[in-house]
Chain A
Amino acid sequence: METEKLIAMLASNAEPVAPGAVRRRYGAAVVGGGFGALLLMVVFYGVRPDLRQAAGDPMFWVKLGFPLALFAAALVAATRLARPGVRLGWTAEALLVPVGVIWLLAAAALMAAPSGERLPLVLGSSWASCPFNIAFLSVPAFAAAFWTMKGLAPTRPVLAGAFSGLLAGTVGAAAYSLHCPEMAPPFLGTWYVLGMALPAAAGAAAGPLLLRW
């Protein structure tokens, strides 16, 4: 087929394209992934029974706000990576802000604690399961984020995969925070970070395989 004929074919009866496709698709993916994470959390782990009481503790909101802040940065990064020729800009660096805040809070908590209580502040009572639970809750959002990215046009597949995974991890961590009884910043700064990093690493590995177009 000559190029001229190909052009005629592509242009013939081409459907109009509504602007804002990237935003709409990510909106749907985030709603779907978030709903999936909440559903898995309720079915497999259950909402913490003292939620009402915990909501009075500012630390509860820090714990919820931490993954949500990362979520916002990862979402912006993903929408940029989904478009050819758009620079990532400051979004990667923006991830350091919430992590830095949590680590500062963690450092303050560790310094204030007597030396024998420092390790328990880091390990809590659920360190061994926390990262895997977060990774598990991120599975629906992981599928949604990859599906969305696949339908767009990422030209940097490793980064696009990593940020898709991270986006899913933040959704999983936010949902998990409604179950998890841990309130110590050293715990969050270690195991929540690891829990979100797992899907991000999986995404970086899967990106080049799944995101070709």
Chain B
Amino acid sequence: MSAREQHLKELLLRGLSGEAAAYAAFLKDLSAFLRAFLRGRLARVPDEVEDLVQETLLAVHNQRHTYDAAQPLTAWVHAIARYKMIDFLRRRAGREAMNDPLEDDSDLLGASDEEAREAKRDMATLLARLPDRHRLPIQLVKIEGLSVAEAAKRTGMSEPAVKVGIHRGLKALAAFIRG
């Protein structure tokens, strides 16, 4: 458990300092833990687990500046996953679903599940709904892999505007999901 914590934390810290490969590895490992964690808790709605895994990954990414290296990573991730899960259950307005046990403490890194099912909600469809100033930077930099400078040139936007577009666009994506 603490070896997992240490390993994952190291990947995240390297990711935060700009190592894209380490960050991708962090998100991949984390997604497996999230999947197992959420599958255990959302047994009644197995079809929606992958949606929530994706929503939580997006939240972790958008809020990654709130992680403090002095803090246990498990506590941070667990609080985010829990917050998103409760939000999800409220959205479903499932009173009966609210009776699922939420109070168990953080065994988020307890099990790992790498077998992703298909997500019901398609992030790509949501992305297409974003305004151009958000959608184009995300499309060019995050999906096609262009540098910020290249994307700025291609779109005629300034480089800061491209960065802001990515940042705000990913937050807007999370807001779409929240509804």
Contact surface of A with B, Cβ cutoff 8 Å: 1-4, 6-17, 19, 21-22, 82-86, 152-153, 155, 212-213
Those of B97-125 within 8 Å (CB) of chain A: 116, 118-119, 122-124
Per the bound structure, the CA–CA distance linking A10 and B170 in Å amounts to 9
Size of interface on B: residues with Cβ below 8 Å to A: 55
When distances are taken between beta carbons in the complex, the residues of chain B under 8 Å from A13 are 20, 141-142, 145, 147-148
Q: Which of B65, B69, B75, B116 contacts A85 (CB 8 A)?
A: B75
Residue picked from A8, A13, A19, A155, most chain B C-beta under 10 Å: A13
Query: Are A152 and B66 also in contact (CB < 8 A) when A3-B31, A4-B116, A84-B79 are?
Result: yes
Apart from the given pairs A4-B116, A12-B141, 11 other A-B contacts in the complex at a CB distance below 8 Å: A1-B54, A3-B116, A10-B57, A11-B21, A13-B145, A17-B17, A22-B68, A85-B72, A85-B79, A85-B80, A152-B63
Chain A residues positioned under 8 Å from B145 (CB to CB): 12-13
| Number of CB contacts from chain A to chain B under 8 A | 120
B residues in contact with A4, CB < 8 Å:
28, 116
Contact of B119 (CB < 8 Å), options: A1, A82, A84: A1
List CB contacts (< 8 Å) of B71-100 with chain A: 71-72, 75-80, 82-83, 87
Contact B124 A155 (CB under 8 A): no
B163–A19 CB distance below 8 A: no
CB-based contact B142/A84 at 8 Å: no
A82 to chain B, nearest CB (A): 6
CB pair A212 B78 closer than 8 Å:
no
Verify A83–B66 contact, CB threshold 8 A: yes
Residues in A neighbouring B87, C-beta threshold 8 A: 212
User: Do residues B58 and A84 form an inter-chain contact, with CB atoms below 8 A?
Assistant: no
**Would you call the interface of chain A mostly helix, strand, loop, or mixed?**
loop
Cβ < 8 Å to A, chain B residues 114-149: 116, 118-119, 122-124, 127, 138, 141-143, 145, 147-148
A9 touches B143 (CB 8 A): yes
**Cβ-closest chain B residue relative to A212:** B178
Interface residue B174 (Cβ < 8 Å from any Cβ of A): yes
Chain A, Cβ-Cβ closest to B26: A11
Pick the contact of B123: A6, A14, A84 (CB < 8 A): A6
In the assembly, what is the distance between CA of A19 and CA of B76, in Å? 15
- Asked if B1 is at the interface (CB within 8 A of a chain A CB), the reply is no
Task: Specify the chain A residue showing the minimal Cβ separation from B53.
Answer: A3
Binding site for A on B (CB under 8 A): 15-18, 20-21, 23-24, 27-28, 31, 50, 53-54, 57-59, 61-69, 71-72, 75-80, 82-83, 87, 116, 118-119, 122-124, 127, 138, 141-143, 145, 147-148, 163, 170, 174, 178
Instruction: Name the B residues within 8 Å of A15 (CB-CB).
Output: 18, 163
Residue of B16, B24, B123, B127 near A16 (CB, 8 A) is B16
| A21 closest partner in B (C-beta) | B65
Residue numbers in B under 8 Å from A3 (CB-CB):
31, 50, 53-54, 57, 116, 119
Please give, as numbers and ranges, the residues of chain A lying within 8 Å of B28 by CB-CB distance: 4, 7
Residues on the B chain within 8 Å of A12, using CB:
20, 141-143, 145
CA distance A153 to B56 in the complex (A): 12
- A1-B124, A7-B57, A13-B147 as given contacts; A21 in contact with B66, CB under 8 Å: yes
Closest to B28 in A: A7
A31 to B96, CA, bound (A): 47
Distance in angstroms between the alpha carbons of A19 and B69 in the assembled complex: 8
Knowing A3-B57, A16-B17, the reply to whether A11 touches B71 (Cβ < 8 A) is no
> Do B58 and A10 have beta carbons less than 8 Å apart?
yes
Considering only CB atoms, which chain A residue lies closest to B65 in the complex? Answer: A21
